[in-house]
Structure 1
Amino acid sequence: MTVLTMENLEMHRKDTILFSAFNLSIDRKEIVAIHSSLNVRQALINIFLGKLVLVNGKILIDGKEISKDKGLYAKQIGICFFEEGMYERLTVLDHFKFYKQIFEFDQTFDQILHITQLDELKYKKIKNLTYSQQKRVQYARVLLQNPSLFIFEEPDLNVDVETKKIFINITKKLQQEGKSILVLTGNIESAITMADRVYRLHEEGLQPYEMGNEVIGEEQEGDSVMEENESIAFQFNKIPTKIKDKIVLFDPPEIDYIESNEGQSNVYIKGEAFPSMFTLNELEERLKHYGFFRCHRSYIVNLQKVREVITWTKNSYSLILDDKAKSSIPLSKTKMSQLREMLGLK
C-alpha cells in the first residue's frame, strides 16, 4: 500500500530552479532518503506544511491530496525538524504530557521512554540535557503523534553514536508497525546507512543515488597493470588532487577516506574534500598496499584511522573514524564479512 505519493512536483524561486518536476512514492514499511541542499530541503518541508503553494504537482497521503484536506497534515504527517523549539523549563516527562494532550495519545509513556533511552532522564529539565539527549526528545515527540508518514530532517546530524543507534532502532520499530519514513538530509553517508532507497534532488530533478561504478572484471585488469608497473608505484606513492589550477599531492597516511560521488572521487583529509584525478577503482589499486580498504562500492577507508565498527541493523554497518568529527563511513554487508576475516574474527 502506498502511503506517500508526490506527482510532478517542482519548485522555482524567482529565476532559480530549486528542483525540476519529479515523481516519488513511498509504500508502507519503507524508508526513503532524499539527499539535497539546505534550500531544497527547506522548500520540501514548507510544501508539506502548506507554507509554499505549488504551481505544478501534488502530494497525496493515503491517496488523499493534502492541499485539499488540511487536517491530513496534523493527523497523518509527523515532521521531526532539525531545529525545533522546545520548552526548556519542562522536564522530559512534562514535555511528553504536554504533547500527549495535543496529539490525544492514549497510551503510557513507558515504551517511548524505553526506545529513546530517556527513562533515567524523565525528571530532568530539557535545558539540562545534552544536544543528543534533546534530539531524543524530538524523536519522542513525533512518536507521540503516531502519523502514517514520518519525516525526519537531518535526524543524526551532530548527535553521538549512541543516539544514532537509538534512531536506527526507532526506524526499525516504525517499519514493523507499518509506518513510512522519509529522511531529508545533506549527508549522503547517513542516507545510505538509514534508507532502503536513496535519491538526490536538485535543479535537474530526482535521481537515484548511484552506489559507485564498479565494472565486472575491472579489478582483474587493474591487478595486471599493477604488476607491470609495480616498481613505478613504489617509487611514487603520493596521491594527486586538483584544486583550481593547482595539483596538490598527499601521502597515503594523511588520507582519512575517499568517496565516489556521481563519478567524481573526493579525497577526505581532516574533514576537507579534495577532488581526485583518478577513479575509485584506480585509487583502490594505488592504495591497497598502504592499509586502505574498499568498505563500500562508493567508499575506500584508511583502516589505520578506524576506531569503531558499528552494527546498526542485520544488513547495515558503519565505520567510525578516529578523527575530530568522528566521521561515519558506510560498510556494506559483503565487505563486513571481508573485514572480519582480515581482523581474524569468526
Structure 2
Amino acid sequence: MNILSISDLEKHEGNAVIFPSFSLTVDAGNAVAIHTNMDVQKIVMNMLLGELPILAGAIKVNDISIAASKKKYLQHIGVLSLNDGLYERLTVKEYLSFYQKLYDSKSTMEQILLTVQLEEQKNTRIGKLSFSEKKRVHLGNLLLKPVSLYVLEEPDQNTDLETKRVLNMVVQELISKDKAVVILTGNMESALTLTDNVYRLDSSGLSKIDVTAEESEQETEMEAVIQPVRFEKIPTKVNEKIVLFDPPEIDYIESSEGQSQLYIKGEIYQSMFTLNELEERLQPFGFFRCHRSYIVNLQKVREVVTWTRNSFTLILNDTSKSSVPLSKAKMAELKGMLGLK
C-alpha cells in the first residue's frame, strides 16, 4: 500500500533550479533515504510538513494532500528533526510517559526503554543526558506516535555507535510494522546503513543509487568467472554493501597507499580495484591517467593551469572546483589528445 506520494515536485529560486520536477512513492513497510545537501533537505522537509508552499507538484500521505486538509495530513506524519528540543527538567521515563498518554500508545514503557537502550537512564533528568542519549529519547518518542509515515532528518549526525545501532533497530521495527520511513541526509554512509533504497537529489533531479548486498568472496569470484557480459558500472564498498556507479558520475580517482578512492560529487568511495585496473576499465569512457596516482574524467575538466614549465594542474567543474595534478609527461600526451601543439 502506498503511504507517501510525491508527484512532479520542483523548486526554483529566481532563475536558479534547486531541484527539477521529480516523483517518488514510498510504500508501507519500506524505508527510503534521500541523499542531498542541507539546504535542499530543509526545503524538502518544510514542503513535507506544509511549512513551505508547494507551487509546482503535489505531496500526499495516505492519499491526503496538504491542500485538502493540512490538519488531517499532518496527523499521519511523525518527524525527527535535526534540531528538535526536549523538556530537559523531566526524567526520561516522565517524558516518554507523557507522550505515551498523549498518543494513547499501546507500547509499554519497558518495551520502549529497552528498544532505545535507556533502561538505566529512565530516572535521569534529560538535561543531564549526553547528546546521543537525548537522540535516543527522541527515537523513543517516535516509536510511541501511531502514524503511517516517519520523516527523519540527519538522524545519526554526531551520535555515538550505540545510538547508530539503536537507530537502525528503530527503522527496522517501523518497517516490520508496515510503516513508511523517509530519511533525509547528507551522509551517504548513513543512508546506505539504514536502507538499500537510496536516492540522490540535486539540481540534476532525483536519481536512484544502485545498491546491492555484498556476497561472500567465494560467490563474488565465481560470478566474476562466469559473467559473460561486459559490466560497465564501477563497484565501490560502503560498510557491508556494494554501491554501483556509472562511469560518467565519477569526477576523479586518487590512489593512496595502494587504495583507490573515487570522488563523486564531494563524496569519497573506496574502490575494489587498483588504479591500473580502473584505468583499463574507464579509458573507453573518456578517463585519462593524468598522474601516476590520479585518473580524471576529462569531461569534468574545466581548466589546465600551468604553474611552472614542469608543474600543471587540472581544475574540474565540480561544486568544489577540485584540482588534480598533471605530470609533465602526461601534459604532452593530453595536448596530443586535444590536438594542441
TM-score (norm 2): 0.65
**2:94 equivalent to 1:89:** no
Deviation at 1:260, TM superposition (A): 5.4
Please state how far the C-alpha of 1:266 moved relative to its aligned partner.
4.3
Distance apart, 1:97 and its partner CA: 2.4
2:149 aligned residue: 149
SS in 2 for 1:99: helix
Equivalent position SS for 1:9: strand
> Residue 261 of structure 1 is aligned with which of 254, 261, 264?
264
Shift of 1:284: 7.5
Contact 1:18–1:39 (8 Å) recurs in 2 = no
- When structure 1 is superposed on structure 2, of 179-188 and 93-102 the one drifting more is 93-102
Change beyond 3 A, Cα 1:251–1:183: closer
Instruction: Give the whole-Å Cα distance in 2 for the aligned partners of 1:95 and 1:284.
Output: 58
76-85 or 93-102: which moved more? 93-102
Mapped to 2, the partners of 1:211 and 1:261 lie a distance apart of: 15
The counterpart of 1:252, out of the listed 251, 257, 263, is 257
Find the aligned partners of 1:265 and 1:71 in 2 and give their Cα distance.
39
Match of 1:59 in 2: 59
Within 2, Cα distance between the matches of 1:69 and 1:280?
A: 50
**Residues in 2 aligned to 1:194 and 1:249: alpha-carbon distance in whole angstroms:** 28
Partner Cα separation in structure 2 for residue 49 and residue 265 of structure 1: 29
Which residue is 1:177 aligned to?
A: 177
Which letter maps to 2:5? T
Question: What code does the residue aligned with 2:180 have?
Answer: S
Q: Where do residues 102-251 of structure 1 align in structure 2 (5 Å cutoff)? A: 102-211=102-211, 251=256
Distance 1:107 1:266 in 2: 41
Q: Is the 8 A contact 1:59 1:67 kept in 2?
A: no
1:190 positional shift: 1.2
User: Which residue in the other structure is 1:313 paired with?
Assistant: none
Contact 2:19-2:204 at 8 Å conserved across structures: yes
Aligned equivalents of 1:105 and 1:20: distance in 2? 40
Q: What RMSD over aligned residues (CA atoms) do the two structures have, in Å?
A: 3.1
Q: Report the more deviating stretch, 94-103 or 32-41.
A: 94-103
Judge conservation of contact 1:3–1:28 (CA < 8 Å) in 2. Answer: yes
Cα pair distance change 1:251/1:63, threshold 3 Å: closer
Give per-residue Cα distances to partners, 1:231-275, cap 9 Å, x unaligned. Answer: xxxxxxxxxxx99xxxx997507x6x734537x98478xxxxxxx
The answer on whether the counterparts of 1:265 and 1:280 sit within 8 Å (CA) in structure 2 is: no
Task: Spell out, residue by residue over 1:195-228, the C-alpha distance to the aligned partner (whole angstroms, 9 max, x if none).
Answer: 131100111211111459x997779xxxxxxxxx
Distance in structure 2 (CA, Å) of the matches to 1:48 and 1:266: 30
Structure 2: tracts of 5 or more residues without a match: 213-223, 232-250, 279-341
- How far is the alpha carbon of 1:13 from its aligned partner? 2.3
Retained in 2: the 8 A contact 1:19–1:204?
yes
- The whole-number CA distance in structure 1 between the counterparts of 2:5 and 2:254 is 48
Where does the alignment leave 5 or more consecutive residues of structure 1 unmatched? 220-241, 269-278, 287-346
Deviations 1:29-81 (A, max 9, x none): 11111000101100011011211101111111112213321223442111111
Alpha-carbon spacing, 1:23–1:284, altered in 2? closer, same or farther (3 Å): farther
Aligned CA distance change for structure 1 residues 184 and 267 (closer, same or farther; 3 Å): closer
Kindly provide the amino acid, as one letter, of the partner of residue 132 in structure 1. Answer: S
The answer on 1:71 being equivalent to 2:71 is yes
Equivalent pairs: percent with the same residue?
A: 33
Opposite residue 152 of structure 2, the aligned amino acid is F
CA distance in 2, matches of 1:284, 1:171: 40
How far did 1:16 drift?
2.3
How far has the Cα of 1:183 moved from its partner?
0.7
Partner amino acid for 1:81? S
In 1, the alpha carbon distance for the partners of 2:59 and 2:254 equals: 49
Distance in 2 (alpha carbons) for counterparts of 1:84 and 1:265: 27
What TM-score, normalized by structure 1, do the two folds share? 0.64
User: What amino acid maps onto 1:252 in structure 2?
Assistant: E
Q: Which aligned pairs between 1:35-46 and structure 2 lie closer than 5 A?
A: 35-46=35-46
Could you tell me whether the CA contact under 8 Å between 2:196 and 2:211 is conserved in 1? no
Task: Write out per-residue CA displacement over residues 96-142 of structure 1, whole angstroms, 9 at most, x where no aligned residue.
Answer: 12323443335431211111011111111111111111110111111
- Residues 267 and 205 of structure 1, relative CA distance in 2, 3 Å threshold: closer
Distance change >3 Å, CA 35–CA 250, structure 1 → 2: closer
User: What corresponds to 1:31 in structure 2?
Assistant: 31
Structure number with greater Rg is 2
2:275 to 259, 280, 283: 283
- CA–CA distance in 2 between the matches of 1:267 and 1:103? 42
Length, aligned pairs only: 247
Secondary structure of 1:121's match?
coil
- CA 1:100/1:249 → structure 2, altered by over 3 Å: closer, same or farther? closer
CA distance, structure 1, for counterparts of residue 169 and residue 23 of structure 2: 29
